[in-house]
Structure formats: C-alpha cells, structure tokens
Amino acid sequence: MADEDAPLPPHANGNGQEENGHVPEIELIIKASTIDGRRKGACLFCQEYFMDLYLLAELKTISLKVTTVDMQKPPPDFRSNFDANPPPILIDNGMAVLENEKIERHIMKNVPGGYNLFVQDKEVATLIENLYSKLKLMLLKKDDVSINSLLSHLRKINSHLEKKDTRFLTGDTMCCFDCELMPRLQHIRVAGKYFMDFQIPTDLRYLWRYMLHMYQLDAFTQSCPADQDIVNHYKQQQNVKMKKHEELETPTFTTSIPMELDIQDE
C-alpha cells in the first residue's frame, strides 16, 4: 500500500491537533491505478468518498490520510486485515468500515461535520441516479438510442442547474450529491471522448459552468484520477489489453472547458 502523494488540505496527514482538542484522523483506502499500481485509480466510489472527506479536512473537523492499494497485487496485510474486501475502506479510530452504504452512513453519522454534507433532496437524488448506467450502456451499445438517452439525462441536469442558478446542485455549498455527480461527469467526458468521440454539448451551458466550478476546487482536482486511468478502467471492463507504452505515458488530466464557452466570470 502507498500513501497518496497528492497534496492534502491543512490538518490532513498531520497530527490532527486543534487548540481546543483532538481532531480525529480518518484514513481512506482507495484503489490504486491499474496502470502503475500507486497513483489514484478510477474507482468512482473511492473518488466520491475522497471528496467528501477532503471537504471535511478543509474545514479542519478531521485529519485525512489517503492510502492507495494495488488490487492486482494486494499486500499480505491487506488480505488478512480486510478479508479481501475491495476499497474504498474507511478506517476511523482503528475500526474498518467496509461496503459503500456503510461508509456513507458512517461519514454522515460518525465523522465530525459529515452530517452537513448529506443533505436531503429527493429531486436531486432522482436526477443523478442511473447516470452512470447510461454511460456504461452507451459504451456497450454504441448506438443512437443509448447516446440520446445519455444526452437526455445530461440535459435534465443542465435544466436543473439553470433553474437553481447556484454554483452546485443544491445551493452555493457543496454536498454529497456533488461528490457523487462530478466524478461521473468526468468519466462521461474522458471515456466518452476516447471510445466514441462523444462530447458533452456546449449548449449545455449551465452544466459546463457547474463543471468549471468543480475544476477549480481542490476537493475535485486532488481526488481526480488521470485520464489514462479512466480509459483503462473501461478497457478492463471490455477485456481490452493495455498497450505497453501506456505504462510510460505521463498522466494527463482533462480539467478545462471548451474555449468557445466564455463563462469564466459567471
């Protein structure tokens, strides 16, 4: 296992001491890159919880440590400690929390500040569910029906953002839904472009503005996997072998917006 080398916010990877007392250290174990076995992998849930906890570390309610584990060659202590359960795995005060739903519940109920991240909004919850399944269907089918289904879903999100006219899904403060949606939008953007030359239409102005705001946040950029790792994630699903030269490529990160969209100051 390797400690994640991305810069973490103040009170992350530190002693976790506040003037008024102890700030608990939370460790998040995430899947490593399937290309080099060390950097961040392209697991959506790993990035989602990384973002949740990063936001809390920025607020100094916790100290955050992020560790990557190569699931192709997991170390012996990982197998024995976690019974081969795959990441994400959250460790709080020596207690390991396994399974996504339990991790989410633990952050909400037991991690200081976590409750404020998990807002209740049925409209937004319904709006973003099934988005990822539509990406996977498009990559599998590669037909107009699946493409239009994904586009229709993206247009609904764009319309919601236009109606709200806020920086994020539920307001001007990030919440759990943003930590869930943005990694999926990144996969749509990177994998869709690579496999099908699919691009999020520029007329979805409010969606692009939302993505611009997210690209400016450390919580997203520090948790975001490289483009190559996102692509390789889907190559593995399709049983496509990685080419040798891909291991030597310098990681790239798509975090810009189309030049024709002049929304910098909005």
The full set of domain ranges for the chain reads: 2-117, 122-248
CATH node for 122-248: 1.20.1050.10
Confidence of residue 17 (pLDDT cuts 50, 70, 90): very low
Over residues 14-37, mean pLDDT: 78
Residue 54: pLDDT over 70: yes
The CATH-assigned architecture of domain 2-117 is 3-Layer(aba) Sandwich (3.40)
Confidence of residue 18 (pLDDT cuts 50, 70, 90): very low
Q: What's the pLDDT tens digit per position in 161-210?
A: 999 999 999 999 999 999 999 999 999 999 999 999 999 999 999 999 99
The residues, ordered by sequence, that sit 6+ positions from 93 with a Cβ below 8 Å of its Cβ are: 24
Q: What pLDDT score does 19 carry?
A: 43
Which range scores top for mean pLDDT: 69-78, 214-223, 255-264? 214-223
Residue indicated by tokens 């993505």:
211
